[in-house]
Structure 1
Amino acid sequence: MALTGIQIFKMLPKTNCQECGHPTCLAFAMALASGKAELVSCPYVSDEAKEQLAEASAPPVRPMHIG
């Protein structure tokens, strides 16, 4: 299930450093949620947040039975 911008924002460092190219961490989170930005743009995001966001953005896998 895709995360909302607010859910992503809660995982970000909230420094509003603008190094990602967005004016605030909230704006960056909204861009991430809509697919208009990539997480690697944030130099301060924690490894834990990277893992959580990667898991949440992974496509769902449906079991397939062959034979």
Structure 2
Amino acid sequence: MRSLPIRLSNEIDDSLNDIARRHWMAKTDVIRLAFSLMTIADREWMKQDGSRLGIVRESEEGLEAVAVVVGIFP
């Protein structure tokens, strides 16, 4: 497996640490998961069909849209 040293702002590193602690994950696992989500977003963006990505929450009543994902790609 390859390694990739990266430089992070203090704000991003603090957020990364918070997420990792909250979910009992290693920071590298949080980054891998974030990359997986970016891969999905990129795959959908490549369709160029005018659709938009969103985040949904599932409850007993069904799915509820809670956010629209914007500004990921230029």
Instruction: Kindly indicate which of the two structures has a greater share of residues assigned to strand.
Output: 2
Look at both structures and tell me which one has the larger radius of gyration over its CA atoms: 2
TM-score by length of structure 2 reads: 0.28
Which structure carries more relative contact order (alpha carbon 8 Å, separation 6+)?
A: 1
TM-score by length of structure 1 reads: 0.30
